[in-house]
Amino acid sequence: MTAPDFVPGLELSRRFYLEAVLPILDKEVPGLPHSVARLGSGSEVLGFDTARSSDHDWGPRLQLFLAPDDVERLVSAFAYQLPKTFLDYPTWIDVAGVDDWLTGFLGFTPSRGVTTADWLATPTQRLLEATSGAVFHDGSGSSRPIGRGWRGIRTMCGCTCWRASGSGSRRRRPSSAAAARSATSLGRRWCAHGLSAT
C-alpha cells in the first residue's frame, strides 16, 4: 500500500472550508457575511509543512470570523453538523468575532487602538502568525465590523514584522531546499505586507 500524496495544510484547510464549512453556513444562514482564514500557529501557516507535519497537531483548521451577534448561533450549528474528520484528518474550527480572536491571540486588536505596551508585550512570532497563512474568503465588505480588525492587523503587523526581520537580523539556515524557498518567500511576504499598507 502506498502513502497518499501530501496535500499542504493551507490547501487542505481551503478545501475543508469549501466542502464542509460553507455548505453548513449556506444551510443555516444563506448569504451571511463572513471571513474565513487559516492563521495562528502551525507550520502550514508559514508554508513550512511537509508530509511529516501530519503526525502532530495538523489537519484542516480554520478561523471563521463573524459579526459578534452571529457567533453564538453558528457555534452551536457547527457543534452538531461539522464532520469530526475531513479526508481522514481531525477537524478544528474557531468561530469568533475578529476583534475577539485578535485580542485572544495577540492581547489587543487594532480597531480598539494599539499602545506602545501592546507592541512591546507581543512577540514578533505572534505578529507573524497573525499576518501569514491564508484568507480563503473575505466577505466582510469595507464597512462591515468583522473585517476592520483583520485589515488593521495585516497593515500594522505586516509593517512591524518586516522591520523586525531587517537585514541585520540573524536567521538560522534552513535544513532543506524546500525550507530555504519558504524562508525566502517568507521575507517577500513580510515585504508585501508592508507595501500593501501604503
* Tens digits of pLDDT across the chain (198 residues): 555 688 999 999 999 999 999 999 999 999 999 999 999 988 898 889 888 887 777 899 999 999 988 998 899 889 899 999 999 999 999 999 988 998 999 999 888 888 899 989 999 899 888 888 899 998 865 333 334 444 544 554 444 443 333 333 333 334 444 444 444 444 444 334 333 222
Give the model's pLDDT for residue 145: 37
Assigned domain for 3 exists = no
Q: Distance from CA of residue 125 to its chain's centroid? A: 13
Assigned domain for 1 exists = no
- Between helix 124-131 and helix 98-106 the angle, nearest 10°, is 150
The C-alpha cell that represents 157 in the structure block:
503587523
Range of the domain at 151: 9-196
- Cβ-proximal residues to 55 (8 Å cutoff; 6+ apart), any chain: none
pTM: 0.71
The C-alpha cell that represents 13 in the structure block:
484547510
CB–CB of 68/97 below 8 Å?
A: yes
Q: How many domains does the chain have?
A: 1
Assigned domain for 4 exists = no
What is the C-alpha to C-alpha distance for residues 151 and 52, in angstroms, rounded to an integer?
33
Closest CA to 59 of 1, 134, 6: 6
